[in-house]
Amino acid sequence: MTAIDPPTDEELTRRAQAGETAALGLLLARHQAPMRAVALSLLGYGPDAEDAVQDAALTALRRIGDVRDPAAVGAWLRAIVRNSSRMRLRADRDTPARLESLDRLHTCDDGLSYPPYSTSTQLMHPERVVDQHAMRDWIWDALEQLPEPLRLVLMLRHFSGITSYGEIARACEIPVGTVRSRLSQARAKLAQVLLTTATHVHDDAARLTEDSRQEAEVTLEGARRGHQPREILELWPAETELVGVLSTPGERCHPIPAMRRNREKGVTQHLRHVVASRTVTIWEMDVTNPAGSTDPCPPTLAWLMLRRNRRVQTLRVVFPEL
């Protein structure tokens, strides 16, 4: 019997770009050792090297469609690890570099080219890049299988504008060390889940996101008018709780009165970006304050919602720039 030759990197890359999840899983597994070697050579043994490899793997998931020379995908993967490692070397350990720097990369030492995502000064969010190829459903289905605390920090870190460890720590009200620990656990578990769910049927991530975007627009319009339609109120039952900096210590607060207070102050919010799974939703907003406001709201904020059966269980409003 003649042995069947294993698929080449070029074959696996083209299959992955066509949306075959198992091919991408095999490709990452095949190149894990050389990717780790790059990280260790720059960062030495320790959690930084492991984080650099895991960040690079998630970047590859988002950007496999960008590979122009499928036969050279190994060099492409090593280049991403190298860039991630160098970012960590440059960054202060208390305030790690933001992941957007990975997405700014247009060229690298291996001579591989990365097209810019946007000609404007504001980068395209990673979630929008995921929407460009068929991998998105696989990734989001895998995210759903993570424990909620791990899923939340991973979604913030990789798919929202709240990406630094300090911002995530403030948003989740946990220490920076816990953020780092949860991210490490989440990325390791995500890699395992991705390999085991490659042949599963997935939710339509684009549909989830679009449904959430429409819900956000209707909710904001209702807040501006001071009256939410019934279908929105049903998503905010009496047991929904406002937590975090906008809540009143020692009291159970519902989000709807807070929305009314914002309207009375003349503050309006404008939807900028949506990240949505079945149980975690993140709406990022730009804020407009009334002229002459003596107590203005920060210019950006995000709604972090945990859900069950679509209904919001908790809402935490965070201010990334504070």
Q: What is the DSSP string of 10-65?
A: HHHHHHHHTT-HHHHHHHHHHTHHHHHHHHHHHH-SSHHHHHHHHHHHHHHHHHGG
In which band, very low, low, confident or very high, does the pLDDT at 113 lie, cut at 50, 70 and 90? Answer: very low
Structure confidence by residue, pLDDT tens digits, 20-78:
767 777 787 788 778 888 888 787 766 777 778 877 877 777 778 888 898 988 898 99
CA atoms within 13 A on the CB side of 47: 10
Residue 296 tokens, joined: 């203005």
Which of 9-23, 88-102, 118-132, 167-181 shows the lowest per-residue confidence on average (mean pLDDT)?
A: 118-132
Task: Quote the DSSP letter at residue 222.
Answer: H
Helix (H) / strand (E) element for 228: namely none
Structure confidence by residue, pLDDT tens digits, 193-246:
765 655 454 556 667 888 999 999 999 999 999 899 999 999 999 999 999 888
- Closest CA relative to residue 168, chosen from 78, 255, 99, 104: 99
Q: Which residues of 103-231 form beta strands (DSSP E)? A: none
The dihedral region occupied by 26, where left means phi > 0, alpha psi between -120 and 50, and beta the remainder, is: alpha
- Which pLDDT score, from 0 to 100, does residue 138 have? 67
- Closest CA relative to residue 110, chosen from 73, 138, 146: 73
Structure confidence by residue, pLDDT tens digits, 257-267:
989 988 899 99
The dihedral region occupied by 173, where left means phi > 0, alpha psi between -120 and 50, and beta the remainder, is: left
- Which pLDDT score, from 0 to 100, does residue 307 have? 92
Separation between Cα atoms, residue 211 and residue 206, nearest integer Å: 9
Q: What percent of the chain has pLDDT over 70?
A: 76
Q: What is the CA radius of gyration of the chain?
A: 21
In which band, very low, low, confident or very high, does the pLDDT at 1 lie, cut at 50, 70 and 90? Answer: very low
- Bridge partners for 259 per DSSP: none
- Which pLDDT score, from 0 to 100, does residue 240 have? 96
Residue 255 tokens, joined: 């989000």
pLDDT, mean over the chain: 77
Is the pLDDT score of 292 beyond 90? Answer: no
Mean pLDDT highest for which of 158-162, 192-196, 210-214, 247-251?
A: 210-214
Separation between Cα atoms, residue 48 and residue 128, nearest integer Å: 27
- Is residue 282 a contact partner of residue 304, using CB atoms and an 8 Å limit? yes
